[in-house]
Every structure is written in structure tokens, then in C-alpha cells.
Amino acid sequence: MRNSDPLADTDTKRRLDVFLAQVERRAYRMALIATRHRDDALDIVQDAMFKLVRSYAHKPEVEWTPLFYRVLQTCILDWSRRRKVRNLWQRVLGGHDEDGEDPFALVPDSVHATPDYRVAKNAAMDALERALAQLPLRQHQAFLLRVWEGLDTAQTAQAMGCSEGSVKTHYSRAVHALRELLEEHA
């Protein structure tokens, strides 16, 4: 039976805090690769956290990971749909198109890093993230959930809200598209 307020249980609250702290950075990077807008990515992660806590805190802890990524991917898809509508209206009304890259998203996250660090930063990482950002949304979602988050096909299907067959297709296409780049930087 669903607990009316699972957060009243301090142990659940503490475990949720630990869980969210473990996934928040990866979630942010996933959202950033999809949106290329820092504040949009932060808002998406915040929305996903709220929805997980509000709707799924009562679920067993082992289910939190696929549920959180399900919510996150839904938030990213919603963002993508809203952006398409906004861009359409802006084109109709003669405004600028938001498909352009957010200049702030191009600023390295470690803006306070030393020059030594920036020089040492792995160029392959930048190339990989740029390539991922160019993939269709569903492909890079499947790739990141499988490879980075380590979800299996069934969990990825649950997180993406699609069939396992679709996950395999998206993942396979992503791997093929990225293979050349990965071999180049291997």
C-alpha cells in the first residue's frame, strides 16, 4: 500500500538524498548533452528530482534508478517538444530560432579550473560529447543509459518508455554512428 507521506520517514528521506546525490551529476550531463543549455538542463534535473520524490519515493529503492531515468527522459522529451513549438512560433513571428547553440553551454563546466587543467583535459571527451549531442535524442538516450548508467536492455526500455526492441535499435544505431569517432580517439 502506498504510504501517504514517505518523506515523513527520515530513513527514506536520507536514502533518497543519497540516491539523488549519486545520480544528479550524470543526470545533469545527460540533460546538458540533450539541451546544450545549462539552465534548461538544471531545470530538467530539478523537475525529475521532484517527480521522483513526489511520485515514487514509496517504491522499493532498487526501482529508483530506472524510475528516475524514466522521469528524466520524459522531462527531456517534453523540453524537446516545447522547444520545437517555441521555435515554430518564433519563426512565424520573425524572432530568432533557439536551435542555435547556447553560448554558455560551450563554456567548460570547470570554469574555475587552472590553465594546466584545461590543457590536460581530454580532447576525446569533448569530441565524444559533441558527437553524442549530434545523435537523435532517442539514440543518445539509449546509449547513455546502457553504457554510462549501466542499465540493461529491459531497464533502459523502462526508462525510455519503449520496447526492448526499440532500445536495441536505438543503441545499435548510436554505436555505429559513434564507432568511427571512438576508434579515432581510442
Partner 1 sequence: MSERDDLDPAAAQRVRARLEQGAQQLNVYTVQRLAQARAAALTGVRTPRTSRPWLLPALGAAVAAALVVSVTLQVMHKPDAGVAEVANLDLELLTAHEDLDLYQDLEFYAWLDDEHESS
Least gap, CB of 44 to partner 1 (angstroms): 9
Q: Tell me the C-alpha distance between 184 and 172, whole Å.
A: 19
Asked whether position 119 contacts partner 1 by CB under 8 A, the answer is no
Q: Which amino acid is at 171?
A: Y
Three-point CA angle 82, 88, 90, nearest 5°: 100
| Interface residue with partner 1, options 69, 76, 156, 171 (CB under 8 A) | 171
Q: Which of 52, 174, 181, 176 is nearest to 123 (CA)?
A: 181
Name the minimum Å distance from CB 117 to partner 1.
Answer: 8
Rounded to an integer, what distance in angstroms lies between the CA atom of residue 167 and that of residue 161?
Answer: 10
**Euclidean distance between CA atoms 23 and 74, whole angstroms:** 16
Binding piece for partner 1, criterion CB under 8 A, among 69-77, 88-96, 134-142, 154-162: 88-96
Residues that bind partner 1 (CB under 8 A): 7, 13, 16-17, 20-21, 24-26, 28-29, 37-40, 42-43, 45-46, 49-50, 52-54, 86, 89-90, 93, 95-96, 98, 109-113, 121-122, 124-125, 128-129, 144, 147-148, 168, 171-172, 175-176, 179, 182, 186
